[in-house]
Chains A and B, each alone.
Chain A
Amino acid sequence: MANYDDIPTLKENIDRATVDSVRSLDVDKYKYGFETIIESDMAPKGLSEDTVRFISAKKNEPQWMLDWRLEAYARFLTLSEPTWAKVHYPAIDLQDMYYYAAPKSTPAPTSLDEVDPALLAMYDKLGIPLREREILAGVERPNVAVDAVMDSVSVVTTFREELSKVGIIFCSISEAIREYPEMIQKYLASVVPVSDNYYATLNSAVFTDGSFVYIPKGVRCPMELSTYFRINEKKTGQFERTLIIAEADSYVSYLEGCTAPMRDESQLHAAVVELVAMDNAEIKYSTVQNWYPGDKDGKGGIYNFVTKRGDCRGANSKISWTQVETGSAITWKYPSCILRGDGSRGEFYSIAISNGRQQVDSGTKMIHLGKNTSSRIIAKGIAAGFSDNTYRGQVSAHAKATNARNFTQCDSLLIGDKCGAHTVPYIESRNGTAVFEHEATTSKISDDQMFYCQQRGLSEEDAVALIVNGFVRDVLQHLPMEFMVETQKLIAISLEGSVG
């Protein structure tokens, strides 16, 4: 007799979420598009050495940090914008934006009580739990510590005391520069060099805030760490910088979420994220990127140019990137792993959805340097509307990377006939023992699948959401629970209006 009771509850939760997502379909397509009126402290418009000095002064940075920024700025002046990605957009006028915007009332809150209630209300509206007491009381989403970054500053970081008991540091990067200068000097730009690329160099000069995480040797972080990025001000670029260090035998799971108001003009987001994993350490980094994608004609939206890289510095270390990219007008993003330590492992799981006029050029790099290193890439691209969705990935084995292994699977799903899906893999092996596998498929949601689902009672939009959720299932499973549920809703909302 079959046992029906051993079907995991997890599955049931997902089903409920799918149904919820279906319910929420009639709400605004982009439900995070509101603006919060909060008085801001802004830098003068435009990019110059003065801007760099202004930011550094606002943050009370030590001289060495200012010098570091100025050097990056000098370097930036010698660089030009990369054009190799399959994305098209009008030239970005770096002089026509602000590089620093901070909610005025909160120069340096030390507790939630000092945070502007309007800000807390905004995060409530976004569904981000900041109130520790409520969380501790088990009201919602337990076990997530949050660092909330609005425009250029970190607004609040929760659960710090509890984390510090086990020696974990979780704070804004601005604070880390002041409080832990040795660590910053040792690790900042040690994974993504200042000169790495145009946007990373720009970020190095003008980055304003972001998170800093330090997990000591042998510590398994007892809760998910999470940073929530919000762009609120007009004409403001967000340049965040995140640095995560996992010492030997430690583990941390980190989540990142992003939203922005709906605006006619495009806004620039150029982040740098660096991860360092020492011997046997593991870092799991998950992103749900839901920046405003622009309207249906491609007006407005965030230009998302992001450099994310993890360094598996120690033996048998592991870094795993999971990303869900549904927002932004343009996404240019390649979370990568440098597999330096022998036996280290890199993973990249990606769901990239584009609709309307969105353009996505995203993928990963797996650089095998050490012996017996392995990597796994599973990328699912879903293109609808008039969008373009490109997977661009590089897998390489250095001469010393004996027995390097990679498995890559890229699947594209097309909805409609006005969109494009492209796969651009670069594979390079300088070691005869390396084994690299690459599989790619492209498929469409067939009329027969749609009719079948509709015959059983699902509306067109429910049917698309269900089929797409099935298509991305292998990747969904790698997301932490909270994000899995959120992602399923997001998929349905992102694809609204893609059929019919």
Chain B
Amino acid sequence: MTTPILEIRNLHARIEDREILKGVNLIIPAGEVHAIMGRNGSGKSTLSYVLAGKDDYEVTEGEILLNGESILEMEPNERAAAGVFLAFQYPIEIPGVATMTFLKAAMNAQRKARGEAELLTPEFMRLVKEAGTQLQVDTAMLKRPLNVGFSGGEKKRAEIMQMALLKPALCVLDETDSGLDIDALQVVSKGVNALRSDSRSMLVITHYQRLLNHIVPDVVHVFSDGRIVESGDKDLALQLEAKGYADFDGAAA
């Protein structure tokens, strides 16, 4: 069997004294898109932060393997260079730093970490143009400071554009549909779908089924009280939408 892109084994994590992840097990083989659904406060976003290596969380037990290698001891930037990308639910503003500047700094930092040569400007411009066209990110937007004064749709488009340029092995999308109207949702979903490939896995975190009509998952997991309590195909999402999460609360107990 080939090594899955992501393997999470019995993952426990806490913030201060509060345990939030209570034994998460998850395998995402290359090329698959998995969705995690769960109500607010179930620990979905925590899972995304722990995968990306945010400082505030302490992993007390378990393992996270990316392409078979543990990433638990890696800094967030090392994980990024190894291929972890987190599309933020609320992208952070970086005042005074033009989006274009940020993109180039991020791409070159990752290339440097992997021992690759830095991008030359013409090549960079070509890549940006390509990704920008698909996600309706124009020059004017690239000149603006990253996320500062961006609309909800602009922020998410900028996130997916970064994802497209950084070409991660694992894409984690945290509530990417929040703050999007239907038109923006379509643009963003189209961008995400274009990045589906045999060598890449995605973890789509959402609490609405709506997004999964646009980004159709191979597997849907139900998250409750810090762990996965049920897994199924895309119909599980429809079932959840119809019945709510109540049926699964017992399973977590």
Partner of B139, one of A7, A467, A471: A7
**Which residues of the partner chain A approach B53 to less than 8 Å between Cβ atoms?**
454-455
Residue A3 at the chain B interface, CB threshold 8 Å: yes
Pairwise interchain contact B75-A454, C-beta atoms closer than 8 A: yes
Q: Are A458 and B125 in contact (CB under 8 A)?
A: no
CB neighbours (8 Å) of B86 from chain A are 455
B132 touches A4 (CB 8 A): yes
Decide yes or no whether B100 CB sits under 8 A from chain A. Answer: yes
Stretch at the interface among B3-11, B102-110, B225-233: B102-110
Closest residue of chain B to A463, judged by CB? B77
CB–CB B104/A4 < 8 A? no
- A2 with B139, Cβ < 8 A, contacts A451-B55, A453-B94, A455-B80 known: yes
A11 touches B100 (CB 8 A): yes
| A:446-500 near B, CB below 8 Å | 446-449, 451-460, 462, 466-467, 469-474
| Residues of chain A within 8 A of B54, CB atoms compared | 451
* CB pair B96 A469 closer than 8 Å: yes
The tally of residues in B whose CB lies under 8 Å from a CB in A reads 50
Chain B residues with CB under 8 A of A447? 55-56
Contact yes or no, B97 A469, CB < 8 A: yes
Q: Is the CB of B108 within 8 A of A19?
A: yes
The docked-state distance in angstroms from the alpha carbon of A69 to that of B100 is 55
Q: Is the CB–CB distance between A15 and B80 below 8 Å?
A: no
In this assembly, does A14 line the interface, its C-beta being within 8 Å of a C-beta of chain B? yes
Within 8 A of A (CB), among B136-193: 138-140, 142-143, 145, 162, 166
Number of interface residues of A (CB under 8 A): 38
Is A12 an interface position by the 8 A CB rule? yes
Are B128 and A455 in contact, with the CB atoms below 8 A?
no
What residues of chain A lie closer than 8 Å to B88, measured between beta carbons? 452, 455
Partner of A18, one of B101, B110, B143: B101
Q: A7-B143, A457-B110, A458-B106 are in contact. Are A15 and B92 (CB under 8 A)?
A: no
Q: Which residues of A contact B52 (CB under 8 A)?
A: 451, 455
Q: How far is the CA of A2 from the CA of B99 in the complex (A)?
A: 15
B71 at the interface (CB under 8 A from A): no
Contact of A456 among B55, B125, B138, B166 (CB under 8 A): B166
A302 and B113 alpha carbons, distance in the complex (Å): 37
Determine the main DSSP class of B at the interface with A: helix
- B81 in the interface (beta carbon within 8 A): yes
A449 touches B105 (CB 8 A): no
Q: A462 to B96, alpha carbons, bound, how many Å?
A: 15
Contact with A along B31-73 (1 / 0, CB 8 A): 0000000000000000000001111100000000000000000
Is B95 in contact with A452, judged by CB distance below 8 angstroms? no
Answer yes or no: A22 CB below 8 A from chain B CBs. yes
Contacting residue for B98 out of A2, A11, A19, CB 8 A = A11
- A466-B97 in contact given A4-B128, A455-B86, A456-B80 (Cβ < 8 Å): yes
Q: Give B163's nearest chain A residue, CB to CB.
A: A456
Asked whether A18 and B76 contact (CB < 8 A) given A4-B129, A7-B142, A452-B94, the answer is no
The residue of chain B having its C-beta at the shortest distance from the C-beta of A2 within the complex is B138
Residues 182-210 (chain B) with a chain A CB within 8 angstroms: none
Residues 422 to 460 of chain A near chain B (Cβ within 8 Å): 446-449, 451-460
In the bound complex, do residue A458 and residue B105 qualify as a contact, i.e. CB atoms below 8 Å apart?
Answer: yes
**Among the interface residues A3, A447, A459, which one has the most CB atoms of the partner chain B within 10 A?**
A459
Q: Is B23 part of the contact surface with A, judged by Cβ < 8 Å?
A: no
| From A457, A472, A474, contact of B77 by CB (8 A) | A457
* B96 and A472 form a contact (CB under 8 A): yes
The reply to whether B94 and A470 form a contact with Cβ atoms under 8 Å apart is yes
- On chain A, the residues within 8 Å of B91 by CB distance are 452
Closest to B91 in A: A452
Q: How far is the CA of A5 from the CA of B140 in the complex (A)?
A: 12
Which residues of chain A have C-beta atoms less than 8 A from B76's C-beta? 451, 454-455
Most chain A CB within 10 A, of B54, B80, B84, B97, is at B97
Within 8 A of B (CB), among A1-57: 1-7, 11-12, 14-16, 18-19, 22
Q: Are B105 and A19 in contact (CB under 8 A)?
A: yes
Given the interface pairs A11-B101, A456-B162, the reply to whether A473 lies near B96 with Cβ below 8 Å is yes
Question: Complex: how many Å from CA A466 to CA B96?
Answer: 9
Please, how many angstroms separate the alpha-carbon atoms of A467 and B105 in the complex?
A: 11
Point out the residues of chain B lying under 8 angstroms from A452, CB to CB: 88, 91-92, 94
From known contacts A454-B75, A455-B76, A457-B80, infer whether A467 and B97 are also in contact, taking CB-CB under 8 Å.
yes
Interface set of A (CB-CB < 8 Å, partner B): 1-7, 11-12, 14-16, 18-19, 22, 446-449, 451-460, 462, 466-467, 469-474
Can you list 30 A-B contacts (CB < 8 A)? A2-B139, A3-B139, A4-B128, A5-B125, A7-B100, A7-B125, A15-B100, A19-B108, A22-B109, A449-B93, A449-B94, A451-B55, A452-B88, A452-B92, A454-B77, A454-B80, A455-B76, A455-B84, A456-B80, A456-B106, A456-B109, A456-B162, A456-B166, A457-B107, A458-B105, A459-B77, A467-B94, A469-B97, A470-B145, A473-B96
- Chain B residues close to A by CB (< 8 Å): 52-56, 75-77, 79-81, 84-86, 88, 91-98, 100-102, 104-110, 112-113, 118, 121, 125, 128-129, 132-133, 138-140, 142-143, 145, 162, 166
**Across the A-B interface, the 6 shortest Cβ-Cβ residue pairs:** A470-B96, A2-B138, A470-B97, A457-B110, A456-B106, A454-B76
